Amino acid sequence: MSEECTHDCSSCHENCDHRPPEKASTNADTHIKHVIGIVSGKGGVGKSTVTGLLAMLCNKIGKKVGILDADITGPSIPRLFGVHGILKASENEIYPCVSKSGIEMVSSNLMLDNETDPVLWRGPILASLVKQFWTDVKWGDLDYLYVDMPPGTGDVGLTVYQSVKLDGIIIVTSPQDLVSMIVSKAVKMAQMMDIPILGVIENYSYVLCPDCGKAIDLFGSSATSKVCDDYKLKLLARMPIDPALVKLCDEGRIDEAAAPFMHDALDAVLAL
């Protein structure tokens, strides 16, 4: 590190250890206004569901939206939107598939002859595919690109942080994980990569009684607020466990979800 390093690389041209690697450029015909990563400390907490909900809410208010499914070994974005088929590509470009509602998407699941086949590729191939999804896809003009990140703090996630020009990330967590080290690691990874954290979405927070509509807090809410306070993070949403949402997701109809609990999260994205 340079002896005079001020940690502000924008005003300095020295190539010291503090300077982050150059981010990769997108396809020449692609112009994306905002890129938001959806992150979780581990799988199964609802990261893809949140990605799908935010994308469809943005799309519903007339924004042009794309989703880069960087969860290469656990891809679920096309299924949520009922998109099937194979990505088309020319020598230098990949063309995204488009949902009925007009959301563009790329995913490893749109590269398999059989959607139920596992992705058995080694780490370097996963990382280079995710990078190609950023550099080679002809997204065209997008207001928002959501990146459904791989869970955890592994190699592919690191590639996304280093290659993709993320404007901010949203961390999705379950109430139990919020108080464990899993979320701390995700927070620290984003901080080390100099990516702003827009806030946290807590999933599986409560259930609504089907008879009286009362919200039953399954894990209590005090821990959530405390952890968010400790890390100075905004709690953007508390999502209920919702069998109707699962049904819509399983049937490829996430576009029809209401998701009233998502409005603060949407506002945080629109405020970028």
Q: If we measure between CA atoms, which residue out of 1, 102, 112 comes closest to residue 55?
A: 102
Closest approach of ligand ADP to the CB of residue 251, in Å: 11
Q: Which is nearer to ligand ADP, 73 or 135 (CB)?
A: 73
C-alpha span between 174 and 218 (Å, rounded): 11
Report the residue from 26, 30, 40, 109 that binds ligand ADP according to the rule CB under 6 A. Answer: 40
CB within 8 Å of 27: residues ≥ 6 apart:
93, 135, 136, 137, 138, 139
Number of residues located near ligand ADP, criterion CB under 6 A: 18
Cross-strand bridge partners of residue 98: 104
- Residue 82 Cβ, how far from ligand ADP at the closest point, in Å? 14
Answer yes or no whether residue 246 interacts with ligand ADP by CB under 6 A.
yes
Q: How far apart are CA 161 and CA 48, in angstroms?
A: 18
Q: Which is nearer to ligand ADP, 26 or 48 (CB)?
A: 48
The residue range among 43-51, 95-103, 183-191, 223-231 that interacts with ligand ADP, by the rule CB under 6 A, is 43-51
Sort strands 215-217 and 197-208 into parallel, antiparallel or unpaired. antiparallel
C-beta of 169: minimal distance to ligand ADP in Å?
14
CA distance 175 to 203: 7
How far, in Å, CA of 62 to CA of 59, rounded? 5
Q: Which of 136, 143, 242, 255 binds ligand ADP (CB under 6 A)?
A: 242
Is residue 44 near ligand ADP by the rule CB under 6 A? yes
Rule CB under 6 A: choose which of 245, 262, 266, 268 binds ligand ADP. Answer: 245
Residue with tokens 């919020």: 178
If we measure between CA atoms, which residue out of 164, 163, 165, 245 comes closest to residue 204? 245
Q: Which is nearer to ligand ADP, 129 or 186 (CB)?
A: 186
Instruction: Name every residue whose Cβ is closer than 8 Å to that of residue 91 and which is 6 or more positions away in sequence.
Output: none
Nearer to ligand ADP by Cβ, of 44 and 85: the residue is: 44
Smallest gap from Cβ 96 to ligand ADP, in A, equals: 20
∠ Cα 217 223 227 (to 5°): 135
| Footprint of ligand ADP on 47-66 (CB under 6 A) | 47-49
Nearer to ligand ADP, 40 or 108 (CB): 40
Q: How far is the CB of 160 from ligand ADP (least distance, A)?
A: 15
Write out the residues near ligand ADP by the rule CB under 6 A. 40, 43-49, 74, 76, 203-204, 239, 241-242, 245-246, 249
